[in-house]
Amino acid sequence: MSPEEEQPYIVCEDLFKIYKIADLEVVALRGLDLTVQKAEFMAIVGASGSGKSTLLNILAGLDQPSAGRAFVGGRDLLTMTASEMVDYRRKQVGFVWQQTGRNLVPYLDALQNVEVPLILSGVTKKAATARSRELLDAVGLSHRLHSSPSMLSGGEQQRVSIAVALANDPPLLLADEPTGELDSIGAAAVFDLFSNLNRRYKVTVIIVTHDPAIAARVDRVVAIRDGRTSTEIFRRTAVDGNTTRIVHDEYVLVDTAGRLQIPREYLQSLDIGGRAKVALAGSHVEIRPEPRRHQEER
Ligand code: ADP
Ligand code: MG
């Protein structure tokens, strides 16, 4: 293994993104930690406004972080110059937006849509057509080469968008709520496609989604809360005698400073707020409500 392969493909440490609008500052990411291995197939979930798109835009090279560390394939996203960012966006990442209209040129057919990024990066027309046919075949649309987006269903449009995103053979594929405008059947087909492409091309795939069904489909789901990663769910296969079943293990993430997020339901049911007692209890740690606070309320 080369030293580069030993490193996780993506490393974010204590990442911050602050948007300034006039005098107002919005902290979209507040000390986010995330590592992603090469060729992983993972999802990011979280409430609206939790920072999912901000993170994805940073990983896509569409936006720069305010502070912290962010590396993709050994490239430092905080120190990249504008021209390095352009090159990074073109060769290192493919991006799929939620709005099908944002991914495709309406007056070009499917084949031409996939050819565009290839021709822009200097590939000959002949080679672009061959590659475009191959990709549309990989996404199951070889019978739709000459259909324009308006002639395709939402799910088919997203499959063309995925082919466009993969045109330049990027090692990283990012999708921001790619099934947000699809029905459940269309969404399932798109998730299956991401899974197939991940295995076939060894492309690292990160999908941001609201769809709770995602956990059964990806290797790992990371939840973001208030601009920080909060929990992680891994999928594994458990064997009981001669039956196997899929098990999901959920973990709370603990950062290097020891911070973790206690699930909101637990805080509410024990009335923990502001302060708590922490004690080491042999093999585990106990967190209790502050005693005084409880007495006052009784
Ligand atoms: P999500 O994708 O999880 O819904 P976002 O990453 O879009 O969340 O947004 C996180 C926070 O940052 C929100 O409070 C949002 O209003 C704010 N935000 C996102 N983009 C911008 C922007 N371009 N300018 C100002 N604030 C922004
Ligand atoms: Mg979003």
Q: What is the pLDDT of residues 244-274, one digit of tens each?
A: 888 888 888 888 788 888 888 888 898 888 8
Higher pLDDT, 109 or 297: 109
List 287's β-bridge partners, or say none: 278
Q: Which of 54, 98, 208 to mutate to test the pocket of ligand 1 (most atoms within 8 A of CB)?
A: 54
Does the pTM surpass 0.75? The reply is yes
Q: Which atom of ligand 1 is nearest to the CA of 227?
A: 10
**Count of beta carbons in the 10 Å neighbourhood of residue 215:** 17
**Is CATH 3.40.50.300 what the domain over 3-92+170-234 is classified as, yes or no?**
yes
Q: What is the pLDDT of residues 63-101, one digit of tens each?
A: 999 999 999 999 999 999 999 999 999 999 999 998 888
**Which of the given ranges, 23-27, 170-174, 182-186, has the highest pLDDT on average?**
170-174
Q: State the distance from the centre of ligand 1 to the C-alpha of 127, rounded, in angstroms.
A: 39
Residue 3 has pLDDT above 60, yes or no: no
Query: So what's the pLDDT on residue 5?
Result: 53
Query: So what's the pLDDT on residue 258?
Result: 84
Measuring from atom 7 of ligand 1, which residue has the nearest CA? 53
Query: So what's the pLDDT on residue 214?
Result: 84
Of 181, 255, 187, residue with least CA distance to 225: 255
Measuring from atom 18 of ligand 1, which residue has the nearest CA? 28
Q: Which of 186-194's residues contact partners 24+ apart within 8 Å by CB, and which partners?
A: 186/153, 186/154, 186/155, 186/158, 187/155, 187/211, 187/213, 188/213, 189/155, 189/159, 190/155, 190/158, 190/159, 190/162, 191/217, 192/217, 193/139, 193/140, 193/159, 193/162, 194/41, 194/162
* Confidence band for 166, pLDDT divided at 50, 70 and 90: very high
Q: Are 222 and 44 in contact (CB under 8 A)?
A: yes
Place of tokens 């805080």: 267
Higher pLDDT, 210 or 281: 281
List 13's β-bridge partners, or say none: 69
**Which one of the ligands is nearest to 32 CA?**
1
Higher pLDDT, 211 or 112: 112
Measuring from atom 17 of ligand 1, which residue has the nearest CA? 28
List 221's β-bridge partners, or say none: 43, 233
Query: So what's the pLDDT on residue 267?
Result: 87
Of 112, 102, 98, 56, residue with least CA distance to 186: 98
Q: State the distance from the centre of ligand 2 to the C-alpha of 58, rounded, in angstroms.
A: 12
CA distance 138 to 145: 12
Measuring from atom 1 of ligand 1, which residue has the nearest CA? 49
Query: So what's the pLDDT on residue 2?
Result: 55
Show me where the domains of the chain are located. Answer: 3-92+170-234, 263-298
